[in-house]
Structure 1
Amino acid sequence: MKKILEAVTKEKPNADTLEALQQILKDKLGLNKVLLILDDVWEDSKMIEWETLMAPLRSIQRGSKILLTTRMRSVADMVTCVMRSRKDYLHLNGLNEDENFMLFKKYAFDGLNSEDYAHLLPIAEKIAKSFMAVLW
């Protein structure tokens, strides 16, 4: 929770309790569309911790995306269960960088006018080069 908050605010959170951290995250994300990337996740045995981590993310704005990269289908199963979302897996083994980039653009910028995100394409390309993903 603290790491996600630090990424969002660019500073260390000044709260110590879990409830306070959850509320700060919920407030910060509030009315903004977000793209949250959880990269190279391996934890698939602690459902309660996933519930706690994802609770403030259930209320993010419609159109926001969470991208989880993992090598374990059980991780994706657990997180989609916690988020109460449909399971939409994309097994990306074997995709080349261009295909990863096209897929990333589709999910990250779905429904947006290309002029609105053109300045983000270099960052998106770097991200796409670095992952094989499971998306939902």
Structure 2
Amino acid sequence: IDTTVSFTPNIKKIQDDIAGPLGLKWEDCTESDRPTKLWSRLTNGEKILLIIDDVWEQEAPFDFDAIGIPKRDNRNGCRVLVTSRSKQVLIKMDCDKIIELDLLTEDESWNMFERCAGISNSSPNDLIGCGRLIVKECKQLPVAIAIIASNLKGQHQVHEWKVTLQSFRKIGYMHGVDDDLVGIYKSLRVSYDYMKDEKAKGLFLICSLFPEDEEIDILFLARLCIGAGVFEVDYGSYDDARNQVFVAKNILVNACLLLQGDEDRVKMHDLVRDVAQQIANREIQCVLMDYFYHYHTRFSR
């Protein structure tokens, strides 16, 4: 059983995420009774692995009691695995054991890049050489490698790869960007700047405005993009415009800038979202200003 906490924990959502797979219902249960009911279900002796994903550092440690998650002294078959970007979070939570995941090795980074970019040892030497330099710029971060390699897939001319490498190197010091996000920031910046489809760019910016880890309904996203004027071209019908949203969505999914969720839903990786909001701040303002300009012009006639 897994649930995602994120920067702003939603206790009821976390409880629902855990209760659902357990078949636990909340009928005739007040909000204050929910932690006790969940705790009783988790400690009935059944072997359960509960994964608490993406816990952020807050002033107060993440509160198991407020949710109904058993602590180490009375788990009775339930084991809890907590993931976080911050080791300090796990120390504050007094976890039994802390396992640190290292960055990818150079070989692992290159193997991942080869797979995502669709190249191999039989590819031209100049392409491979340029690719290895690009991988170094990704700082051994899987998300960064996936984004930039997917962007290069299908581009077999070395000059295209050299342009990407130079784009990395032109990005200097980034004020306000955490050190662990630099590789991802650069990969996103390069992928965004060289994205040829303007509609996909607009969709990317809109998606970064949604709450963290939210699964976004494609149809709702289509209505939002059409209503906000992200697609400037006048289409023959609503269905035509909606189809363009789906095409733009597929471009972003293939570029690893969006994740395909269940059925007709997508979500944005939390690291991608964090960096996207930093690099897209000015573009978002331009999109909103353009929308309000057209809106004002339309109703001033």
Alignment counterpart, residue 32 of structure 1, candidates 46, 68, 72:
46
Corresponding letter in the other structure for 1:23: T
Equivalents in 2 of 1:8, 1:78: separation in Å? 29
Corresponding letter in the other structure for 1:37: I
Tell whether the 8 Å contact from 1:44 to 1:78 is kept in structure 2 after alignment: no
* Residues 1-136 of structure 1 mapped to structure 2, 5 A cutoff: 1-9=15-23, 13-14=26-27, 15-18=29-32, 20-29=33-42, 30-47=44-61, 50-53=63-66, 56-58=69-71, 59-62=74-77, 64-80=78-94, 86=96, 88-94=97-103
Corresponding letter in the other structure for 1:34: I
Which stretches of structure 1, 4 residues or longer, exceed 6 Å deviation after superposition?
none
Q: Secondary structure at the match of 1:65?
A: strand
Identity of aligned residues (%): 23
Give the number of aligned pairs.
Answer: 88
Equivalents in 2 of 1:33, 1:67: separation in Å? 14
Equivalents in 2 of 1:43, 1:57: separation in Å? 21
Query: Structure 2: where are the runs of 5+ without partners?
Result: 1-14, 109-301
Tell whether the 8 Å contact from 2:36 to 2:68 is kept in structure 1 after alignment: no
User: Deviations 1:25-72 (Å, cap 9, x if unpaired)?
Assistant: 12212111210101111143223x61523654122215x321111101
Q: Structure 2 vs 1, CA of residues 41 and 57 (structure 1 numbering), >3 Å: closer, same or farther?
A: same
Query: Structure 1: where are the runs of 5+ without partners?
Result: 98-136
Higher relative contact order (Cα pairs below 8 Å, separated by 6+ residues):
1
TM-score, L = length of structure 2: 0.25
Equivalents in 1 of 2:104, 2:67: separation in Å? 29
Equivalents in 2 of 1:65, 1:16: separation in Å? 26
Tell whether the 8 Å contact from 2:38 to 2:68 is kept in structure 1 after alignment: no
Q: Structure 2 vs 1, CA of residues 89 and 66 (structure 1 numbering), >3 Å: closer, same or farther?
A: same
Q: Structure 2 vs 1, CA of residues 95 and 17 (structure 1 numbering), >3 Å: closer, same or farther?
A: same
Corresponding letter in the other structure for 2:93: V
TM-score, L = length of structure 1: 0.50
Equivalents in 1 of 2:68, 2:92: separation in Å? 14
Q: Structure 2 vs 1, CA of residues 26 and 74 (structure 1 numbering), >3 Å: closer, same or farther?
A: same
Tell whether the 8 Å contact from 1:40 to 1:69 is kept in structure 2 after alignment: yes
Corresponding letter in the other structure for 1:28: R
Larger radius of gyration: 2
Equivalents in 2 of 1:24, 1:93: separation in Å? 38
Q: Shift of residue 3 of structure 1?
A: 3.2
